[in-house]
Amino acid sequence: MPSSELYIGLISGTSADAIDAALVDFESGTPRLLAHHSEPLDVSTKAVIHQLAQPGPDEIDQLGDLDHKLGVAFAQAANQLMEKAGLSARDIAAIGSHGQTLRHRPPGNGKTEPFTLQVADPNLIAHHTGITTVADFRRRDMAAGGHGAPLVPALHHALFHNDGIDRAVINIGGVANVTWLPASDATTGFDTGPGNNLMDAWVQRTQGKAFDADGQWAASGTPNDSLLEIFLTHPFFRLTPPKSTGPEEFHLAWLDECLLQLDETLRPEDVQATLLSLTARTIVDSLVPLLAQNGECEVYLCGGGAHNSQLREALSALLPGTSVGQTDSLGLPADWVEAVAFAWMAKQTLSGLSSNLPAVTGASAPQILGGIYPAQR
C-alpha cells in the first residue's frame, strides 16, 4: 500500500468534451477534493471519438492511434494538475484512469458477446507521469457477469448514504444514471437513458455549438408529445435493472429515424426541447416506483447536466414536493464526482478491495477492479 494518501482520478465522459483530472486526499478516510483541472479535447479528436462509437471502416488503425494520443493527453492532464497544485510525481500514490469509452455492449445486447472498450493507454500515462496507474476498471465486473456500468454508485454509497433519509443521486453526463440510496436497504443503480449526448449532438448539427448553454435554446422550443412517445418506444426503456446503455443505442441516426415517423416537420428548437423532456422523463420514470415505496426522498444531481437550469426545472416539475439539489451541498462539487470516483477506485484496487456493487451492475460478486501499471521512476 502506498504511503501517500494523494490520488489522481482521470476521465473523459461520453460527451468527450474534456479530460477531467481530480486530485484527491484520502488521509481522513473520506475523499477530499484538493484541486482539479479540465483539459478540453480538440475538435478533431472529439470527432474521431464519436465516429468510433459507431461501426465504420479502418477502425483498428484509428483506435490504435486514438489510444496513443489519449494516453499522452491523459498524462498531460495529470501533469498539469500536479503543476497547478505544486506537487510532483513522488507525492502521488497512484492515478485511477477511466479512459474514454468507445464501445459498450452489455450482456443481452443482441449483437455480440458482452464487452466494453475504453482507450487512453495506461502504459503511456504511467510512463509520462512517473506514477503507478490503475485502469481498465469495467471489464473485471463484466467478466463476473455484470454490465461494467454504472460503477460510480459505489462511491455514491460510500459518501452520500444517510441512515435517516432516502436519497437519490442522478448523474447526468452523456448518459444519465440513478443511484438509489435508501436509508435502511441495499443501494441500487442503473442507467436511465440519454443524458446530454443527444441534446449536444443535435445542437452541434443544427447550431454549430458544442452544447445548449443552460438549456436556453431548448427553452425557446416546445416539446412535441408525439415525438416524445416515439422516443419512449425504444426497447431500452422497457428493460429492468441491471441495465446500461450508451451512444451505441442513442445517437443521431436513431434520432433521424424517430423524426421520420412524424407526420410533421418540427422546428429544430422543438426537437431540442423534446430531447430535454426525454432525459427528464426517463430519469423520473425510473425514480417514481422507488419513491412510491419509500415516501420522502432527497434528490441530488451531479455531472454536466446538473448545470442545465431548464433540465433541473423539468425534473422538479415532474417530482413535485421532492427536494432537488446538487452534490455540492453534500461536500463534493457536481462536476467532479466521477473523476473523484476513479481516484477512489484506484485506492480500493491497490488496497485489495472491491469497488463494484453487484446489486447495481449485476455481477456475481464484488470484484477488485482494474489492472495495475507500475511506475518506473
Q: Is residue 207 part of a domain?
A: yes
Angle among Cα 235, 239, 242 to the nearest 5 degrees reads 140
Cell matching residue 261: 415517423
Span 84-100, pLDDT tens digits: 999 999 999 999 999 99
Query: What are the CA-CA distances from residue 135 to residues 60, 97, 343 (Å)?
Result: 21, 5, 10
**pLDDT over threshold 60, residue 170:** yes
Note whether 39 and 55 are same-domain residues: yes
Q: Is residue 1 part of a domain?
A: no
Note whether 139 and 79 are same-domain residues: yes
What distance lies between CA 33 and its chain's CA centroid?
Answer: 18
Span 272-330, pLDDT tens digits: 999 999 999 999 999 988 886 666 789 999 999 999 999 999 999 999 988 899 999 99
pLDDT in the model for residue 295: 67
pTM of full prediction above 0.85: yes
What distance lies between CA 341 and its chain's CA centroid?
Answer: 10
Question: Contact, 269 vs 304, CB < 8 A?
Answer: no
Q: What is the mean pLDDT of residues 354-374?
A: 98
pLDDT in the model for residue 377: 65
Residue 245: name the closest of 350, 116, 348 by CA: 116
| C-alpha distance across the termini of the chain, in Å | 17
Q: Is residue 287 part of a domain?
A: yes
Give phi and psi for 101, each to the nearest 5: -70, 130
Note whether 226 and 131 are same-domain residues: no
Number of domains in the chain: 2
Q: Is residue 119 part of a domain?
A: yes
Range with the lowest mean pLDDT among 289-293, 349-353, 365-369? 289-293
Residue 203 and residue 271: Cα distance in Å, rounded? 10
Note whether 167 and 316 are same-domain residues: yes
Note whether 284 and 340 are same-domain residues: no
Q: What is the mean pLDDT of residues 344-361?
A: 98
Q: What is the mean pLDDT of residues 229-258?
A: 96
Note whether 271 and 130 are same-domain residues: no
Note whether 102 and 230 are same-domain residues: no
Query: What residue has cell string 468507445?
Result: 102
Note whether 292 and 341 are same-domain residues: no
**What is the domain range of residue 309?**
153-330
pLDDT in the model for residue 4: 86
The pLDDT > 70 percentage for the chain reads 98
Q: Is residue 237 part of a domain?
A: yes
Note whether 320 and 340 are same-domain residues: no
Question: Contact, 246 vs 104, CB < 8 A?
Answer: yes
Note whether 304 and 353 are same-domain residues: no
The pLDDT > 90 percentage for the chain reads 90
pLDDT in the model for residue 294: 62
Note whether 23 and 159 are same-domain residues: no
Note whether 28 and 98 are same-domain residues: yes
In single-letter form, the type of residue at position 42 comes to: D
What CATH number is attached to the domain comprising 126? 3.30.420.40
Question: Hey, what's the torsion of the CAs at 257, 263, 264, 265, to 10 degrees?
Answer: 20
Q: Is residue 131 part of a domain?
A: yes
Residue 23 and residue 137: Cα distance in Å, rounded? 19
Span 171-210, pLDDT tens digits: 999 999 999 999 988 999 999 999 999 999 999 999 999 9
